[in-house]
Chains A and B, each alone.
Chain A
């Protein structure tokens, strides 16, 4: 059984969205959960956040970083993905927190609309802050802002919105004392640095960890992370954890286990696509 791509679009530079028909995932997915795809028989299983749901369709948004995401970006409407499993992981802790800030960095922004909507639907006031290197990397701006009471775009080079990092805006809001709960989703280094800001204020801060996964069901331990000194499996115990308890350096080291292999895979794929146009 393969899963059909119903919509496909490049929504920012090197960032793509696909809507895939996968009723078993769509029917049950909640904010904070992810799915695992395997494109074809030779493919790797990779985890991607469920970034939206529409009837039987689920949306994934991904950045081209290596072989699998490059291959995925060549697929279009009517193509099939061999395997889509999910939803996986615990949903975000959605309840009435009060005033929530959701922060997205890079492709992590993709996780926010479904989260902001769920928080809003539970009676929270939501501030959305998104950050990217420059304007061409900003995604889902209109969609996300429609679920936020307050919305700020930041770019590192000032090409759009605030010139600077989301953490600057977060600090201001924390100083004002108007934050009850924070979500930060993005590259590990961005989550680490941004979350440092909330520690002095003792504000509940969630981050979504992205270690290397295989099954996503708790069967292999590839995704282990250290939380408050204890080993956890991010796929089943997370992927969201409290920021101040995360061993960030370990996570970032473990993400690099296969750097050599990833490079080789990517080069082979690029050579191959040059020669025959992707087929």
Chain B
């Protein structure tokens, strides 16, 4: 799969990866050994029949490949692009032990794109059952659950508080990784199954909790949208953004095209991004595309960066400067940001998760300052309490996440289910979808009783 040149791609928001041609896809598919015990399937959170669809590609039966993928994954054009494949399907592919794993993600993407260009087929929808289900949130979890429930013939209403559906896929992940027309097409497909989408509806406010609980079942897919801040001095200076705000202004509101679009965003010279995950990489690369000089500060070592490998590589190619083993202690400025004071970090013994702990170094030399006009904090998100704190007796964990049964997604309240980031804390698209699918099946089963 090809990639556009860095100097060209930082000039726009068009997709970086150019995808496989049919020929490339077939060639790549021939590398798969069609293993008897395919390890790749175990690495995929929704257990797609990976050798199955790859064999179909090798026979140039792309329609069949699409059908096989769709049996387990409603949103393949999205997952093929954003799954952390190196930790999932490609991470367990046996060819990866000695050499390069089969490029499963790129193949999945190819099939999904082929299908979109050659006409999507609508899955069968069963007769109406008369059961009403409320799905709260239209991110990957909500959309997946809605599809599974609608196919069974239930009347599904999706409530979304923003003016566009898609959750993080729409407001968080930038279009150079995930073009927005792809998100829209995949969501439209789900709506064609008969689910109703109500935008601008904040459940808990536009839809009171009593009304929500009057549905036969409720699926909470409200995500982990609440941004964390470091809690250091100078954080409320003008020019300090949460990654959520920065990305929302650009991806959802198109502030990169201000003043053609009305929403502004500061596009000043020097941008410092704090964090090392996908969210930090996205923020840095968006800032770069708006003409800034970008430095990313991460408190652990480079090898500990939690973002997807490919995205770290892309960020480096695009000229983002990385300062690892450092952490901001103070944001400097009066009114507006002028710099960030940081402390160097050293790594100590492993913590409970087996990851070495960063601790600040002591002494004058440990401190250094970098100039900045904008600071973007990408240090994590937790579940937005707006709705879940209003539902009485809904049990929640320490990090504010809704506690659910692993198998069924059932919460502490009868007929109220939850899946995705709201249950797990910030995770991945495919994990959210996998959990949503299991939960939707549990709801479907429950309705059969």
Chain A contacts to B: CB under 8 angstroms:
1, 24-25, 28, 33, 38, 42-45, 67-68, 82-88, 214-215, 217-222, 224, 226, 231, 236, 250, 253-254, 256-258, 261-262, 264-265, 268
Contacts and interface: CB of A to CB of B under 8 A. Distances in A.
Contacts of B162: 85, 215, 217
A11 to B, nearest CB: 25
Given A42-B261, A45-B263, A214-B248, A224 B206 contact: no
Contact of B248 (A86, A215, A224): A215
Contacts, number: 115
Contact of B262 (A68, A82, A221): A68
B227 to A, nearest CB: 5
9 contacts: A44-B262, A45-B163, A67-B262, A84-B200, A87-B206, A215-B248, A218-B385, A220-B244, A231-B231
Interface stretch (B3-11, B234-242, B401-409): B234-242
What is the interface of chain B mostly: helix, strand, loop, or mixed? Answer: loop
A233 to B, nearest CB: 9
A222 B386 contact: no
Given A219-B244, A220-B227, A254 B236 contact: yes
A88 B384 CA distance: 14
Given A45-B253, A222-B245, A231-B236, A24 B201 contact: yes
Nearest to A257: B238
B260 to A, nearest CB: 7
Contacts of B231: 231
Contacts of A83: 163, 199-200
| Interface residue range, chain B | 35 or more
Nearest to A247: B236
B227 A221 contact: yes
Contacts of B201: 24, 85
Contact of A28 (B206, B244, B249): B206
A261 B206 contact: no
B52 interface: no
- For B239, B260, B335, the residue with the greatest tally of chain A CB atoms inside 10 Å of its CB is B335
B235 A214 contact: no
Contact of A42 (B205, B238, B239, B260): B260
B120 interface: no
Given A83-B199, A218-B226, A220-B227, A43 B386 contact: no
Given A217-B386, A265-B259, A265-B262, A85 B249 contact: no
